[in-house]
Amino acid sequence: MVKHILVFTRKSMKFVILVAISIFLIICAVALFFKPIYSVTINGEFVGYSKDKSALQSKINSFIENGEEEENSNIAFVQVNNMPEYKLCLLKRNIVTNDDEIYEMVKQSGIAYYKYYAILEGETEKAYVSDFQTAEEIVKQLKEKNSNNIDDISILELYETELKDFTTVEKAVADLYVKKVEVVKKPVTTGKLSTKSGMSYQQVSIGTNFIRPISGIITSRFGSISSVRSGAHTGLDIATKSGTPIKAAASGTITFSGYKGSLGYLIIINHGNGLETYYGHCSKLYYQAGTYVEQGQAIAAVGSTGNSTGPHLHLEIRLNGVAYNPQYYVY
């Protein structure tokens, strides 16, 4: 019986070896005539075959994030609506792949968005530059030259599908500079009212109950004179930790959100009936112009941008363009 078992075992081993050899030969035959490859479709339409899906998709992702290296360096990103879809296939080895053609199809369908900066005078775009450092240098030089319109100069970051013509620092400063004309006037005083440079020391009814945007220490009061300013202080400075959230003192619509001269990053809220609040020297701005915000809603973060000696909030209350002392209404 042992002899029969040994014979059966030898036959089983021979069978297993034959099966293994057969499988190996089949794999060799398949490998000889066929290869794994990716079929590629875009928006449901067959566009070709890819020999290396990972390399092709990596190249496409890089194009979306940065555009082509030889193209304009101001490309922020490329919008591609229809991305390739891949399906693994086993096809004859003579199948021709066309990764480069597929990449070009994706590239041609993309829409490039460029990032650049506009120099604004009020709400009007006056000049365009490629980077923020250049824009800052223009504002800095206008400030050093004491341009009469410096408080109306601001920087706006733009993302567009077409680039504007960029200017140089020298040309922008020459075009934007407005010589300041010194006019000496005596303050108008009537009772408790003293108006000078758009400021009023009188307490009037403004029809709105404000809340405190932040808690902190008052470091500079309304009307104070300092060597760091060109005139009397039109607001109230409240010092606190950088990054502290700034709340809207009252509900309203943001009419300005950006960089504005000596006030640095600034948000202006219009509360209706000519009443506005200014929040200056911010480190971050949470909303764009046109956004409606509720009273108490965080709109920005405390910073030290612009003409500032440390982190604080510069708060102004303006009625029909005239600045009033915030201590009468908030602090």
Residue 2 has pLDDT above 50, yes or no: no
Please, is 191 exposed, middle or buried when counting C-beta atoms within 10 Å of its C-beta (0-12, 13-18, 19+)? Answer: exposed
317 within 8 A of 305, measured Cβ to Cβ? no
**Where do the structural domains in the chain lie, given as residue ranges?**
34-109, 115-176, 188-328
Tokens 């339409």, residue located: 45
DSSP H/E element including 22? helix 2-33
> What is the spatial distance between Cα 153 and Cα 307, in angstroms, rounded to a whole number?
14
Mean pLDDT of 69-85: 75
Mean pLDDT of 193-211: 71
Residues above pLDDT 90, as percent of the chain: 37
State CA 155 to chain mean position distance.
13
Tell me the pLDDT tens digit for each residue of 33-76: 557 889 999 988 999 999 888 899 999 888 887 776 545 567 87
> When comparing pLDDT for 152 and 252, which is higher?
252
Cβ-based neighbours of 23, under 8 Å, separated by 6 or more: none
Q: Which CATH architecture has domain 188-328?
A: Distorted Sandwich (2.70)
pLDDT of residue 162: 84
Q: Which 8-state DSSP code applies to residue 108?
A: H
Tell me the pLDDT tens digit for each residue of 223-270: 777 655 666 788 899 999 999 999 999 999 999 999 998 899 999 999
Mean pLDDT of 278-294: 94
Average pLDDT along the chain: 82
pLDDT of residue 195: 47
DSSP string, 207-235: S-----S---EEEE-TT---TTSSS---S
pLDDT of residue 9: 64
pLDDT of residue 233: 85
pLDDT of residue 80: 84
- pTM here is 0.44
